[in-house]
Amino acid sequence: MSPRQRDVTDLVSRAIAGETRSIARLISLVESESGQLREVSELLTGHLGKAHTIGLTGSPGVGKSTTTSALVTELRARGKTVAVLAVDPSSPFSGGALLGDRIRMQEHTTDPNVYIRSMASRGHLGGLSWATPHAVHVLDAAGFDVILIETVGVGQSEIEISELADTSLVILAPGMGDGIQAAKAGILEIGDVFCVNKSDRDGAETTRRQLRNGLSMTARADNWKPPIEMTVATDGLGIDKIADRIDEHYAHLLDSGGLQSRRVARAAREIQAIAIAEIMRGIDVSAGTLMQSLATKVTAGQLDPFAAADAVLDHVR
C-alpha cells in the first residue's frame, strides 16, 4: 500500500466515522475527478444504501432554498441527521450562482448534524456533474439519515436529480405559469411529492388545480398517487405535511419493492456512465490526434461520421 493509498484509506475511514472535515475533503477529492475515485468507490462499497435520498427541484423564484431550509429544520426536529447537496447545473464560467442560497441555509451551519455542500459544475456529457452520484455516496456512507439534493429546475437537470433520488419533491409557486411549465419540463412524471409554495399568494389554488389536472392525465409506472401540499416556507407553514408525505412515499417504496428497483436502475446508470467515461478517456488519450484528423475529413465531406466512429472504436479497442 503506497503512502497515497494509505491517505485515501484513512480519509474514507474518517468520513465513514462521520468526521465533517474528512467528509468535505473526500467530496473535494471525488469532485476533482482524480484517479483516486475508483479507490474511493471501492472503499465505500458495503457502506451505502442507508440514507433516504430526496431530490428537490423547482424553477428559479419558487422559494426552493427557503423550502429546503425549512425542511431541514423539520427533519432535525424529528431527530434525523441531514446532508444537503446543492447542485448548480449552470455554466462553469458563471460560478457562485448559489451564493444567495447558501446564505439562506446559514441558520443550520452551527448544527453538527447538518452538513451543507454546494457543487457547481456541469458534466462531461452535458448534464449534471459526473461527480454528483459519488458525492451522494460519500454522504450516504457518512451515515446521514437523509440526503437532500437540491437543484435549479431547468429542464434536464431535474430529471437527472430525480434519477439520483429515492423521492423527488417538486416545488412550484403561484403565478409563474407553472401549470404549463410543469407539462413542458416533464416534471409531472418525475415528482413523487408536489409542493405549491407561497400559497398565501393569489393564484395558489389555480396552480394546485392545474397541477392536479395534469397529474390525473399522467401515467405512472408504479401505483403511487403523488400528493400536493400547500406551503409558506418562509413561515414554515405546511412543511410538516411535506415531511409526512415524503415519509409515506418512502414507506410505499419499501412496501412495493420500488426502492430496490429504483436503486438497481440507478446503479445500472452509474455503471454505464463509468463504462462510457472509461471509453471516452481512451478516445482522448489514445485517439486524440486521430479524432482531429477524422473530424476534419468529415467536415470536408470526405468521410461519413459513422465510418469515422468505427475508426475511433477500432483504435480504442
Site for a second copy in 220-259 (CB under 8 A): none
Do the bridges between strand 193-196 and strand 167-172 make them parallel or antiparallel, or are there none, so unpaired? parallel
56, 68 contact by CB (below 8 A): yes
Interface residue with a second copy among 14, 76, 90, 145 (CB under 8 A) is 90
Of the pair 17, 268, the CB lying nearest a second copy is at: 268
Q: Please, what is the minimum distance in Å from the beta carbon of residue 189 to a second copy? A: 5
Cα 238 to the center of its chain, rounded Å:
24
Mapped onto helix, strand or coil, the DSSP state of residue 19 is coil
Read off the C-alpha cell for 11.
Answer: 480519509
Of the pair 39, 111, the CB lying nearest a second copy is at: 39
Closest alpha carbon to 220 in 252, 198, 177, 196: 252
Give the footprint of a second copy on residues 120-139 (CB under 8 A).
Answer: 122, 125-127
157 sits near a second copy (criterion: CB under 8 A)? yes
Distances (CA, A) of 140 to 18, 83, 148: 10, 9, 11
Q: Please, what is the minimum distance in Å from the beta carbon of residue 73 to a second copy? A: 26
Of the pair 1, 93, the CB lying nearest a second copy is at: 93
Give the footprint of a second copy on residues 163-192 (CB under 8 A).
Answer: 177, 180-181, 183-186, 188-189
Of the pair 237, 303, the CB lying nearest a second copy is at: 303
Of the pair 15, 239, the CB lying nearest a second copy is at: 15
Q: Could you give the CA distance from residue 93 to residue 133 in angstroms, rounded to a whole number?
A: 22
Give the footprint of a second copy on residues 27-86 (CB under 8 A).
Answer: 37-38, 41-42, 44-49, 60-61
Enclosing H/E stretch for 202: none
Interface residue with a second copy among 55, 58, 63, 89 (CB under 8 A) is 89
Q: Please, what is the minimum distance in Å from the beta carbon of residue 108 to a second copy? A: 24
Q: Please, what is the minimum distance in Å from the beta carbon of residue 309 to a second copy? A: 4
Annotate each residue in 274-303 with x if it binds a second copy (CB under 8 A) or - if it does not, as one string: xxx-xxx--x-------xx-xxx-xx-xxx
| DSSP alpha helix (H) spans, the chain | 3-16, 20-31, 37-44, 64-77, 99-104, 132-141, 156-164, 178-185, 187-190, 204-216, 239-256, 258-299, 305-316
Q: Please, what is the minimum distance in Å from the beta carbon of residue 235 to a second copy? A: 24
Annotate each residue in 94-113 with x if it binds a second copy (CB under 8 A) or - if it does not, as one string: x--x----------------
316, 283 contact by CB (below 8 A): yes
**Buried b vs exposed e over 264-284: b needs ≥16 C-beta within 10 Å?**
eebeeebeebeeebeeeeeee
Interface residue with a second copy among 13, 91, 213, 256 (CB under 8 A) is 91
